[in-house]
Amino acid sequence: MQQTYTKSELREFLSNYPLFKPYSIGKFSRGAEAYADPAFLIEERFLHYCTNEHREAHFLLDMPQPQASYWKTQEEDVINPLVLNTNNCIDYVMHYRGKCISCQKHSVDFLLHIWSISALPSEYGNSLLYDEQTKKHIYSEIEPEIEVFIEKVGIYPNDNFFIDTKVEQFLYPESRELYRNAQKCLHESLGQGAYCYLSHVVERELLLLANDMAGINAVYEELIYDQIEKFKEKRDFHYIATILMQNLPKALHGLNANFFIEMYDLISLTPGTISDDEALEVSKTIHLNLKFMIYLLFEEKHPVVAFRELR
């Protein structure tokens, strides 16, 4: 029987799944790479942020010693009783370590919980189960259909969230820590947290962006400051949106004539009125719009980029 998982599926789990989120690997399979053998994850490749490379890099998963030597030398087709609980279900927590393939220095440690809800039968097709009483291996033609799950129950260091350096470069210093917190919440799928942080970042930065326009366009300085004051008084973002749409790249007009109004509407939802999953999806949209705007400003070499570099 062939293993039922694919390498790309496990890469997705190792790279992107947060703590305590169960992932269905597939059906139980026998052989050297069966899920009842903790060594089945060894040499899995995945993406993780490398602090030495300052980017996402490929990591290779292994086990630390001495457990690596123990599990790598186990008899291939024998279920070790250490991976089964008292109900004969697969149930074990194992320490794994991934190392950056590029720098060969940065590593990340995982505690992974692998389990099945259903018990393994005492006999199953052509797989060997060691019987303590008879001291023999048992064979059978029966193949079980048992779903196996995996989850992360520990990770150190928990730094696998990509910080876009171009976005950070553009943001004012006071916004950068908020942005980092938002990125961490997005990585951990914490919708409400990501939404709160990103809302603060976007409102703050759009207002500062309008303010920057006054510093760039001396002719319109008084008019812009007047619009900003009206916004502060009436909390009507149309005043700020008017400044931004008149002074920022025309490509934003082509994307959406009300780009900034819709951005502000997205960050104006009342926390708690939407579910965490909904907050997560809205946060992803806000983040994509923010990145799009900033990348466009860099691509068009807009004066505001140079203006901010002088701050």
CATH number of the CATH domain containing 290: 1.20.120
pLDDT reported for residue 173: 85
Judged against a pLDDT cut of 80, whether residue 21 lies above it is answered with yes
Question: What was the pLDDT predicted at 137?
Answer: 52
Question: Do both 20 and 64 map to the same domain?
Answer: yes
Total number of domains constituting the chain: 2
What is the DSSP secondary structure assignment for residue 274, as one 8-state letter? Answer: S
Q: Which of 156, 183, 202 is the last residue of a domain?
A: 156
pLDDT, tens only, 197-212: 999 999 888 888 888 8
Domain residue limits at 124: 7-156
Q: Is residue 81 part of a domain?
A: yes
| Number of Cβ within a 10 Å radius of residue 293 | 24
User: Distance between CA 201 and CA 195 in Å, rounded?
Assistant: 10
Residues 16 and 152 grouped into a single domain: yes
Two tokens, residue 142? 């029966």
Q: Is 88 inside any structural domain?
A: yes
For residue 216, tell me if it sits in a domain. Answer: yes
Listed range (20-29, 246-255, 272-281) with the worst mean pLDDT: 246-255
- Name the pTM for this structure: 0.54
Higher local confidence (pLDDT), 245 or 58: 58
Segment holding 180, helix H or strand E = helix 173-187
Assess if residue 20 is contained within a domain.
yes
Q: Do residue 108 and residue 215 come from a single domain?
A: no
Residue 144: other Cβ atoms inside 10 A: 19
- 74 with 92, same domain: the answer is yes
d(C-alpha 212, C-alpha 246), whole Å: 13
Same domain, residue pair 172 and 148? no
The confidence score (pLDDT) of residue 30 equals 55
Residues found in the chain: 311
65 and 82 together in one domain: yes
- Mean pLDDT of the region 12-29: 80
- Checking if the pLDDT of 133 tops 70, the result is no
Whether residue 144 sits in one domain with residue 226: no
**Residue 132: Cβ within 10 Å count:** 7
Q: pLDDT tens-digit profile of 150-197?
A: 999 888 886 656 667 788 888 988 888 889 888 888 877 888 999 999
Quick check: is 1 in a domain?
no
Rounded average pLDDT over 28-45? 73
Residues 202, 300, single domain; the answer is yes
Same structural domain, 305 and 203: yes
Is 196 in the same domain as 150? no
In a domain, 2, yes or no: no
Average pLDDT over residues 256-276: 80
Amino acid, single-letter form, for residue 122: S
CA distance 38 to 205: 48
Residue 211 lies inside a defined structural domain of this protein: yes
Gap between the Cα atoms of 201 and 159, Å rounded = 21
**Residue 143 included in any domain:** yes
Beta-strand ranges (E) seen in 157-288 are none
Flag whether pLDDT at 6 surpasses 50.
no
Q: Say how far apart CA 271 and CA 74 lie, in whole Å.
A: 52
For residue 257, the model assigns a pLDDT of 53
Asked whether residue 236 falls in the same domain as residue 172, the answer is yes
Show which of 156, 178, 212 is a domain's final residue: 156
**151/11 same-domain check:** yes
Last residue of a domain, one of 134, 156, 178: 156
Average pLDDT of the segment spanning 229-241: 80
